[in-house]
């Protein structure tokens, strides 16, 4: 195995943190970031991800990705990259398993519905919703709402898509006023790695799911950069083999190529920018963790292919329409529901927030199965 540079000096130190909003005693057995990871793992919102759509709703098949399995796959990729450079694996793992925790039922279709519904009531953004969950909505401790995560974990979640300087969602904006997250700066190496690991995971595994669903064929993938190159190197008559073995071979090789590119590029960027401190990473005007130019072009080609052939497929559009009908009905029904219904569903209207936001939080927290169950009961 090649010796890669030890980047621990520009990493988030396991024994240090800028702290938590509510002060707590340090653990004698776990680092602060292990504690953050464990709080996410034991949260109700994380458990619900097992029945939340990635692309396919849960009843379409047991082997399609869900938000939970996707998050675990992101975590595996992020931890592997961090280990190469002796970075903080626990922080990267925490950010990976938490990054989709704010997604509503039915994937992006559910988010689009809530965006329309909440347009005049503060909007809806799954990243902002993730912060609402970990900062406000989880109720596990006597002394505070939320999970009281470290500054570094909150910063990494908020900056999943990079620095935020404009159109800052309401929850993130409020949190930033009480716990300055330095929104105009880039996040840690660990957070950047977790973010790009998300891209690696969903691009490759959506290829697998799309093949499994019959949305496209191996011959159609041959025209794609990266994926086509991999298929060209498979054994002759490979299509006679078991489909799952073929799919796994393609996604495994593609994932390895992307990860290898990231590793080389991190080392290159660190040397090129002469980075010797975490402060330099934060104040650089671009990410340190990214694909090479050549790989980025290939990844964009895969994304465009998936957008045209999978995300816009008629069956996916039908699922999206069904999801919009369910969520639109649920919001309209619950916003005007009788007290007995509100009590039966255990919706707490005494929370210090608008009724619109409380109902939105309730719907966003639903699994696909529960949303469909409540819809069928009251429609």
Each residue's pLDDT tens digit, 147-202: 999 999 999 999 999 999 888 999 999 999 999 999 999 999 999 999 999 999 98
Burial of 308 (0-12, 13-18, 19+ CB in 10 A): exposed
Mean pLDDT, rounded, for 325-340:
96
pLDDT-derived band of residue 60, with 50, 70 and 90 as boundaries?
low
Q: What pLDDT does residue 63 have?
A: 56
pLDDT-derived band of residue 340, with 50, 70 and 90 as boundaries?
very high
Residues with Cβ within 8 Å of 265's Cβ and at least 6 positions away in sequence, in order, are 289, 290, 291, 292, 295
d(CA 158, CA 160) in angstroms, rounded, equals 6
Cα dihedral 350, 354, 356, 360, rounded to 10, equals -70
- Give me the residue label for tokens 């465009």: 304
pLDDT in tens, 199-208: 999 889 889 8
pLDDT-derived band of residue 312, with 50, 70 and 90 as boundaries?
confident
Q: Chain-wide mean pLDDT for the chain?
A: 92
DSSP H/E element including 135: none
What's the start-to-end Cα distance of the chain, in Å?
A: 60
CATH architecture of 31-315: Orthogonal Bundle (1.10)
Q: What pLDDT does residue 1 have?
A: 67
pLDDT-derived band of residue 59, with 50, 70 and 90 as boundaries?
very low
Question: Does position 209 have pLDDT exceeding 90, yes or no?
Answer: no
d(CA 220, CA 58) in angstroms, rounded, equals 27
Backbone angles phi, psi at 30, to 5 degrees: -135, 150
Q: What pLDDT does residue 239 have?
A: 82
Structure tokens at 254: 């593609």
Structure tokens at 109: 């279709």
Concatenated DSSP letters of 25-85? PPPSSS-HHHHHHHHHHTSHHHHHGGGSBSSS-GGG-TTS-BHHHHHHHHHHHHHHHHHHT
Mean pLDDT, rounded, for 286-308:
95
Q: What pLDDT does residue 81 have?
A: 98
DSSP H/E element including 218: helix 218-221
pLDDT in tens, 230-287: 999 998 888 888 888 898 999 999 999 999 999 999 999 999 999 999 999 999 999 9
Helix axes 151-158, 189-213, angle to 10 degrees: 50
Residue ranges of domains in the chain: 31-315
pTM score, two decimals?
Answer: 0.94
d(CA 72, CA 93) in angstroms, rounded, equals 9
Burial of 174 (0-12, 13-18, 19+ CB in 10 A): middle
d(CA 72, CA 66) in angstroms, rounded, equals 10
Q: Chain-centre distance of CA 55, in angstroms?
A: 13
Instruction: Say if CB 156 and CB 191 are below 8 A apart.
Output: yes
Structure tokens at 106: 């039915």
Q: What pLDDT does residue 62 have?
A: 53
DSSP-derived 3-state class of residue 22: coil
């Amino acid at each position: 195995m090649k010796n890669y540079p030890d980047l621990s000096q520009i990493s988030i130190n396991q024994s240090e943190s800028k702290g938590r909003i509510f002060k707590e005693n340090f653990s004698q057995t776990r680092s602060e970031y292990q504690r953050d990871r464990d709080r996410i793992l034991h949260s109700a919102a994380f458990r619900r991800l097992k029945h939340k759509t990635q692309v396919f709703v849960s009843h379409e098949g047991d082997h399609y990705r869900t938000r939970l399995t996707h998050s675990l796959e992101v975590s595996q990729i992020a931890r592997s990259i961090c280990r190469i450079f002796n970075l903080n694996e626990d922080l990267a793992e925490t950010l990976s398993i938490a990054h989709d925790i704010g997604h509503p039922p039915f994937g992006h279709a559910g988010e689009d519905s809530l965006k329309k519904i909440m347009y005049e009531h503060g909007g809806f953004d799954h990243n902002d919703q993730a912060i609402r969950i970990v900062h406000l909505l989880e109720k596990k401790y006597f002394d505070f709402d939320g999970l009281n995560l470290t500054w570094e974990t909150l910063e990494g979640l908020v900056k999943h898509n990079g620095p935020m300087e404009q159109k800052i969602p309401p929850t993130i904006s409020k949190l930033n006023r009480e716990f300055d997250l330095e929104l105009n700066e880039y996040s840690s190496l660990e957070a950047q790695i977790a973010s790009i690991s998300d891209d690696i995971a969903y691009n490759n595994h959506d290829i697998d799911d799309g093949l499994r669903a019959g949305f496209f064929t191996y011959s159609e993938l041959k025209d794609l950069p990266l994926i086509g190159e991999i298929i060209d190197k498979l054994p002759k008559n490979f299509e006679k083999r078991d489909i799952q073995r073929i799919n796994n071979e393609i996604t495994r090789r593609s994932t390895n190529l992307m990860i290898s590119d990231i590793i080389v590029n991190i080392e290159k960027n660190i040397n090129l920018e002469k980075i010797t401190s975490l402060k330099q990473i934060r104040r650089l005007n671009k990410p340190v963790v990214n694909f090479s130019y050549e790989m980025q072009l290939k990844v964009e080609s895969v994304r465009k292919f998936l957008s045209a052939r999978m995300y816009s497929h008629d069956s996916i559009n039908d699922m999206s329409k069904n999801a919009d009908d369910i969520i639109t009905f649920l919001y309209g029904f619950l916003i005007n529901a009788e007290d007995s219904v509100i009590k039966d569903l255990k919706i707490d209207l005494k929370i210090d927030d608008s009724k619109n936001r409380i109902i939105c939080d309730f719907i966003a927290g639903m699994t696909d199965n529960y949303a469909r169950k409540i819809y069928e009961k009251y429609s």
